[in-house]
Structure 1
């Protein structure tokens, strides 16, 4: 799986919004500056997040962006799905929709297992946890293994 710039930027923007203790709206310009995200790209990402019900915008003098849900209720998986679609796709199809001949049909099981593993991680981490820099034990235990940090 590749994490797109769009997903990375979306998560960083949401962390920035959730980390604000005053709960006030944050302008897109401020988000972009704080996380070094190109303005035009960020506007498109925020529009996707708004369509998914993750953020809302407020117009006017004190306008900007705010979370539409509690940060504890928004997972990394929610954000990735909002901006990039399904966690795993094969030729643009969900893994359960892919068909192969009998010899290669075992591949579908690999794609389904990969999606399940990604769900374990991405659905187990909330924006609140990211903003507080406190990951669940299930995540930190995966990164405690030196092998996890090695490229293969």
Structure 2
């Protein structure tokens, strides 16, 4: 299974924003702290803003904040915001190819279901608390 760089960067950026809920973070500091290419991060944040997962403000007091509480943002929403459908096979859904053997389609559906379960059951806040526990 492959997680896109875009999804990874989006999750890392949201975790950084969740760690600093009282102040906006500028794209440059997120990129530097999370080792994300700046231009790529700008595109990721644009997708997250369109999905309502972050909000932004321009100017010297500006930057990015979470669009909702970290506990209300699932990783499934993040992946959907930047990548679209969670699992595709050759760019199609698991059941979209009539030539695909039913047993193979069933495996792809099961992988999608289990992945959705993990991503839907994990919030940005969960990542923050996991990081705090690891730092102790």
Q: Do both proteins adopt the same fold according to a TM-score greater than 0.5, normalized to the shorter chain?
A: yes
Q: Report the counterpart of residue 131 of structure 1 in structure 2.
A: 128
Q: Report the counterpart of residue 120 of structure 1 in structure 2.
A: 117
Q: Report the counterpart of residue 74 of structure 2 in structure 1.
A: 75
| Superposition misfits of 4+ residues, deviation over 4 angstroms | none
Superposition pairs of residues 42-53 of structure 1, within 5 angstroms: 42-53=41-52
Q: 1:77 deviation in Å?
A: 1.1
The 2-side partners of 1:99 and 1:81 are apart by 25
More displaced stretch, 88-97 vs 54-63: 88-97
The 1-side partners of 2:95 and 2:71 are apart by 29
The 1-side partners of 2:127 and 2:53 are apart by 15
The 1-side partners of 2:27 and 2:14 are apart by 11
Superposition pairs of residues 10-29 of structure 1, within 5 angstroms: 10-21=10-21, 23-29=22-28
Superposition pairs of residues 86-101 of structure 1, within 5 angstroms: 86-100=85-99
Q: Are 1:90 and 1:98, in contact at CA under 8 Å, matched by a contact in 2? A: no
Structure 2 SS opposite 1:43: helix
Q: 1:130 deviation in Å?
A: 0.4
Structure possessing the higher radius of gyration over alpha carbons: 1
Unaligned 5+ segments in structure 1 are 135-152
Q: 1:89 deviation in Å?
A: 0.6
Q: 1:124 deviation in Å?
A: 0.8
Q: 1:105 deviation in Å?
A: 2.3
Q: Report the counterpart of residue 145 of structure 1 in structure 2.
A: none
Higher relative contact order (CA 8 A, sep 6+): 2
TM-score (norm 1): 0.81
Tell me the alpha carbon deviations over residues 19-69 of structure 1, each in whole angstroms, 9 at most, x when there is no partner: 115x21110001011111110010000011111111111112210011111
Q: Are 1:80 and 1:87, in contact at CA under 8 Å, matched by a contact in 2? A: yes
Q: Report the counterpart of residue 57 of structure 2 in structure 1.
A: 58
